[in-house]
Amino acid sequence: MSVVAVLIGFSLLVATGFLVAFLWAVKSGQYDDKQTPAIRMLMDDKNSNVKENENHEEKS
Amino acid sequence: MQLETFKYDNTIVRKFTIATAVWGIVGMLVGVFIATQLFVPALNLGIPYTTFSRLRPLHTNAVIFAFVGNGIFMGFYYMIQRLCKARIFSDLLSNIHFWGWQLIIVSAAITLPLGYTTSKEYAELEWPIDIMITIIWVVFGINLIGTLMKRREKHMYVAIWFMIATFVTVAILHIVNSIELPVSFWKSYPVYAGVQDALVQWWYGHNAVAFFLTTPYLGLMYYYLPKAANRPVYSYRLSIIHFWSLIFIYIWAGPHHLLYSALPDWAQSLGTVFSIMLIAPSWGGMLNGLLTLRGAWDKVREDPVLKFMVVAITAYGMATFEGPMLALKNVNAVAHFTDWIIAHVHVGALGWNGFLTFGILYWLVPRLYNTKLYSKKLANFHFWIGFLGIVFYVVALYWAGLTQSLMWKQFTPEGTLQYPNFLETVLQILPMYMIRAVGGALYLTGALVMVYNLVKTAKQGTFIREEEAQAAPLIKETSEKKSHHWLESRPIQFMILSLVAVLIGGVVEMIPTFLIKTNIPTIAAVKPYTPLELQGRDVYIESGCNTCHSQLVRPFRSETERYGEYSKAGEYVYDHPFLWGSKRIGPDLLRVGKKYPNLWHYHHLIDPRRMSPGSIMPPFPWLEKVDIDVASTPVKISAMRSLGVPYPPGYENQATNDLWKQANEIALDLQKSGIPIESNKQMIALIAYLQRLGTDIKAKEQVVK
């Protein structure tokens, strides 16, 4: 069943990679702000007709 | 600070949008066609290319890699530019990515019906296409990382993380599972054999579901759902937590596809435990999605986009609850090999992936064309008919799966099987197969209506090729220098990182030798296939027999009574690839060898209904006309030997003679019964293989330590 070792190896590799990425994200301040990113992504396309209509609907 | 003006590229988004719609229709059409074949077997038209067993892989590949694949890239190219406040890294790479991916799909659509297949589920494509996939995947990765590097937004929104995880994991999965030895341009054997091959395959198969059908789509959900509802995601904190926990847990759950197989018990239990743990992060995603709509349910009533998304997220929640339940051994014992699994995956495919894609398409196309959706009414019609289609489809198959499984396991008071004839259990569920096909057809109808609606939408608007945007540049904290400093000033970390890099290289180099050594037999009676049987095995693979027939008898009394001795790991040591199958539309074949005379097999393959009236197996009449590829025998023998199958040195020179000898015997036997067949036909090879199956262990059981 040596392939189990291989698969565990690769899975660990992936997991370690993710762990490093996670630590980087935390360290570099990616998660310092957990409020604005969710709102900011809503505010990028302004020149679309459809969007204007929707906003209008909401205001009314 | 000075604002920078730049442009988003919409043309690549449009390309992938069209591809998503087109391949979606193709994939669903093939699905409805083969679903119909299950109760009208003659619909294979008597030719190989349109037979269920060859089209089923085409259907799964088309839906997963063509429909959902293009859907991922469509959603990705639109959102990554906007989330990074940057144009895509390279337009050239975008186009290589697009055309390369379509070329892969077209090659799949040609080679799979021709019978060029590795037989490994969702990894059926042969090695030249595997290489192409690797290259195009890297192109996608460069575009992803390149865009991240030039982003003007410091924070990487959670959707981006899902895409990064997708890219990294799929790359590794694809490479590890596709290590194979080519014997010709369209034929290869995997380096792994038997149980090991099965393990690698389902490690891949499970994670393909996880990282191709789930994580990228969660990423899309986190972008398009808030956009469509015009409100922020319920909890950004939850999205971060559930992302990281999801990807950490997902990679360990693969063994739940091999419960009650020859896999060691601890590995099976590990798979089950991690599968149960997966409920939490999966439902974290579902709840976050649904709660985003809190206070906006009035919008859901009005807006078809949101309707589609709500059903998609609910289907995701259902499928990710059902999955862990199916990973419990006692539930799996009932559900595995039945239509229950097909129902389960279609809750995911039709509900989660399909409906989310439709929602995104209805949201995206009007924006790309700067107009409104052509008809809300038609979109609502699509929603309801699609929803109805899902209900018809899955309810019928849950019913069918449970019914059939219970019939397989039913004993009489005297202790014999109540339904010893497998066919009886198939005929019982035929009405369900019909309802399933109706469900699929309804779903397809909805998708066609959508395409019409989207084309009309595009026609009434004008396409925005480039979209202008403004953002402040990102202040770089001379990060390059910093990261290097970080390494340089920490020798221990640097050493560990180098060690990891070296280890990866070492592992990759060692795998082949490492594995071949463990392919030594554990059961002395198990011998390599004869040259004719080996060719017959390849005919079995080419014909896709493994699509409907398993070769794995589980250690239940209901199975050993029906099929014979349960499977031992040592029986499969020469199986490159393993052919356990995952679904029993027909009975298990592991112990079919010597059960019937050659003549029975001949008639049964020409037209199954001659031997079993009412059978739904397609006829394979061409097998008595197509020649065996005898010339390839020496190459195949030496390839097998280099993979560890103990053919004596120089046997390849003698193999062709042995092949003819065995073929003539079988042909003679058939000719005696009045069948005018020549010995060089595929039929002969296939019969030779079938007659060999599982017989090694029947004679005597001798376990060698």
Question: How many other CB atoms are there within 10 angstroms of residue B209's CB atom?
Answer: 21
Mean pLDDT along residues B606-618 = 93
Higher pLDDT, B179 or B31: B31
Query: Does B312 reside within a domain?
Result: yes
Query: Does B524 reside within a domain?
Result: no
B615-653 in b/e form (b: 16+ CB < 10 A) is bbbbbbebbbebebbbebbbbbbbbbbebbbebeeebbe
Give the number of beta-carbon pairs within 8 Å between A and B: 113
pLDDT of A57 reads: 43
Rounded distance, CA B117 to CA B124, Å?
Answer: 5
> In this complex, which of B231, B232, B467 lies closest to A47 when CB atoms are compared?
B467
Q: Which helix (H) or strand (E) holds B403?
A: helix B376-409
CB B191 within 8 A of CB B179: yes
Question: Which region among B464-473, B575-584, B681-690 has the lowest average model confidence (pLDDT)?
Answer: B464-473
What confidence category does residue B12 fall into, taking pLDDT thresholds of 50, 70 and 90? very high
Structure letter (DSSP) for residue B368: H
pTM: 0.90
Closest residue in A to B225 (Cα) is A42
Rounded distance, CA B403 to CA B435, Å?
Answer: 15
Instruction: Please provide the DSSP assignment of B156-169 as one string.
Output: --HHHHHHHHHHHH
Most A CBs within 10 A among B155, B457, B483, B572, hence the mutation to make, goes to B155
Higher pLDDT, B572 or A57: B572
> In this complex, which of A2, A17, A37 lies closest to B168 when CB atoms are compared?
A17
B456 and B413 in one domain? yes
B174 and B199 in one domain? yes
Name the residue among B86, B24, B358 with its Cα closest to residue B217: B358
Query: Does B526 reside within a domain?
Result: no
Mean pLDDT along residues B596-613 = 94
Rounded distance, CA B209 to CA B569, Å?
Answer: 26
pLDDT of B508 reads: 52
CB B27 within 8 A of CB B6: no
B205 and B180 in one domain? yes
Residue B85 has pLDDT above 50, yes or no: yes
Residue type present at position B637: I
CB contact under 8 A, B192 and A3: yes
Name residues whose C-beta falls within 8 Å of residue B582's C-beta, 6 or more positions apart in sequence. B121, B257, B337, B341, B550
Three-class DSSP category at B553: coil
Name residues whose C-beta falls within 8 Å of residue B364's C-beta, 6 or more positions apart in sequence. B13, B17, B74, B75, B78, B224
B489 and B398 in one domain? no
Q: Cβ contacts (< 8 Å) between A38 and chain B: which residues?
A: 226, 232-233, 236, 239
Residue type present at position B538: D
Percent share of chain B, pLDDT over 70: 92
Q: Is A26 an 8 Å CB contact of chain B?
A: no
Please give, rounded to a whole number of angstroms, the shortest distance from the CA of B153 to a CA of chain A: 10
Residue B183 has φ and ψ, to the nearest 5°, of -110, -20
Show which of B517, B547, B582 is a domain's final residue. B517
CB contact under 8 A, B196 and A2: yes
Rounded distance, CA B269 to CA B251, Å?
Answer: 14
Q: Which of residues 76-115 of B touch A (CB under 8 A)?
A: 82-83, 85
Three-class DSSP category at B417: strand
pLDDT of B517 reads: 53
Residue type present at position A42: L
Rounded distance, CA B429 to CA B339, Å?
Answer: 10
Average per-residue pLDDT for chain B: 90
CB contact under 8 A, B158 and A31: no
Higher pLDDT, B429 or A5: B429
Q: Cβ contacts (< 8 Å) between A14 and chain B: which residues?
A: 168-169, 172, 251
Q: Which residues lie across from B6 on neighbouring strands?
A: B469
B543 and B445 in one domain? no
CB B223 within 8 A of CB A29: no
Most B CBs within 10 A among A8, A10, A48, hence the mutation to make, goes to A10
CB contact under 8 A, B156 and A30: yes
CB contact under 8 A, B515 and A49: no
Q: Cβ contacts (< 8 Å) between A1 and chain B: which residues?
A: 195-196, 199, 264, 267, 518
pLDDT of A48 reads: 46
Q: Is B145 an 8 Å CB contact of chain A?
A: no
Rounded distance, CA B99 to CA B309, Å?
Answer: 29
* Structural domain for B165, as ranges: 7-461
Rounded distance, CA B107 to CA B128, Å?
Answer: 10
CB contact under 8 A, A13 and B203: no
Residue B419 half-sphere exposure toward CB, CA atoms < 13 A = 16
CB contact under 8 A, A11 and B196: no
B237 and B363 in one domain? yes
Q: Is A23 an 8 Å CB contact of chain B?
A: no
In the block, tokens 């078809």 appear at B304
B264 and B200 in one domain? yes
Over residues B187-234, the pLDDT tens digits come to: 999 988 888 888 889 889 988 889 999 999 999 999 999 999 999 999
Rounded distance, CA B597 to CA B611, Å?
Answer: 12
Q: Is A24 an 8 Å CB contact of chain B?
A: no
Q: How far from B20 is each of B450, B632, B675, CA to CA, in Å?
A: 12, 39, 49
B535 and B513 in one domain? no
Q: How far from B525 is each of B356, B522, B585, B688, B691, CA to CA, in Å?
A: 53, 9, 30, 18, 16
CB contact under 8 A, B251 and A15: yes
Query: Does B427 reside within a domain?
Result: yes
Q: Cβ contacts (< 8 Å) between B248 and chain A: which residues?
A: 15, 18-19
Q: Is A45 an 8 Å CB contact of chain B?
A: yes
CB contact under 8 A, A41 and B467: no
Q: Cβ contacts (< 8 Å) between A7 and chain B: which residues?
A: 176, 199-200, 203, 254
pLDDT of B317 reads: 96
B27 and B134 in one domain? yes
In the block, tokens 């004679």 appear at B699
Rounded distance, CA B171 to CA B512, Å?
Answer: 19
Query: Does B468 reside within a domain?
Result: no
Over residues B101-158, the pLDDT tens digits come to: 999 999 999 999 999 999 999 999 999 999 999 999 999 999 999 999 889 888 889 9
Higher pLDDT, B50 or B499: B50
B639 and B499 in one domain? no
Q: State the Rg of chain A over Cα.
A: 22
Q: How far from B184 is each of B458, B550, B639, CA to CA, in Å?
A: 46, 27, 10
What confidence category does residue B491 fall into, taking pLDDT thresholds of 50, 70 and 90? low
Give me the interface pTM, i.e. the ipTM: 0.73
Please give, rounded to a whole number of angstroms, the shortest distance from the CA of A44 to a CA of chain B: 7
Residue A54 has pLDDT above 50, yes or no: no
pLDDT of A45 reads: 56
Residue B700 has pLDDT above 60, yes or no: no
Query: Does B1 reside within a domain?
Result: no
Q: Is B251 an 8 Å CB contact of chain A?
A: yes
Over residues B343-379, the pLDDT tens digits come to: 999 999 999 999 999 999 999 999 999 999 999 999 9
Most B CBs within 10 A among A13, A14, A55, hence the mutation to make, goes to A14
CATH number of the domain at B672, please: 1.10.760.10
Most B CBs within 10 A among A8, A11, A34, hence the mutation to make, goes to A11
Mean pLDDT along residues B70-74 = 97
Residue B322 has pLDDT above 90, yes or no: yes
Query: Does B466 reside within a domain?
Result: no
CB contact under 8 A, B203 and A11: yes
Question: How many other CB atoms are there within 10 angstroms of residue B468's CB atom?
Answer: 11
pLDDT of B99 reads: 97
Residue B482 has pLDDT above 60, yes or no: no
Rounded distance, CA B407 to CA B401, Å?
Answer: 10
Over residues B392-411, the pLDDT tens digits come to: 999 999 999 999 999 999 99
Please give, rounded to a whole number of angstroms, the shortest distance from the CA of A6 to a CA of chain B: 7
Over residues B533-554, the pLDDT tens digits come to: 999 999 999 999 999 999 999 9
Residue B50 has pLDDT above 70, yes or no: yes
Residue type present at position B135: I
Residue B278 has pLDDT above 60, yes or no: yes
Name residues whose C-beta falls within 8 Å of residue B47's C-beta, 6 or more positions apart in sequence. B622
Residue B240 half-sphere exposure toward CB, CA atoms < 13 A = 19
Rounded distance, CA B581 to CA B48, Å?
Answer: 20
Cis before B577? omega within 30: yes
Residue B168 has pLDDT above 90, yes or no: no
B187 sits in the region (left: phi over 0; alpha: psi -120 to 50; else beta) called beta
CATH number of the domain at B348, please: 1.20.210.10
Name the residue among B305, B66, B187, B205 with its Cα closest to residue B639: B187
Q: Cβ contacts (< 8 Å) between A45 and chain B: which residues?
A: 82, 367, 467
Domain count for chain B: 3
B443-463 in b/e form (b: 16+ CB < 10 A) is bbbbbbbbbebbeebbeebee
pLDDT of A58 reads: 41
Q: Is A43 an 8 Å CB contact of chain B?
A: no
Residue B547 has φ and ψ, to the nearest 5°, of -65, -35
Rounded distance, CA A22 to CA A28, Å?
Answer: 10
Please give, rounded to a whole number of angstroms, the shortest distance from the CA of A60 to a CA of chain B: 14
Higher pLDDT, B21 or B481: B21
pLDDT of B477 reads: 57
Q: Cβ contacts (< 8 Å) between B230 and chain A: which residues?
A: 42, 54-55, 58
> In this complex, which of B85, B200, B366 lies closest to A3 when CB atoms are compared?
B200
Angle at B549 between CA B175 and CA B44, to 5 degrees: 95
What percent helix, strand, coil does chain A show, rounded to 5? 75, 0, 25
Rounded distance, CA B335 to CA B391, Å?
Answer: 19
B450 and B564 in one domain? no
Please give, rounded to a whole number of angstroms, the shortest distance from the CA of A43 to a CA of chain B: 9
Higher pLDDT, B309 or A46: B309
B687 and B589 in one domain? yes
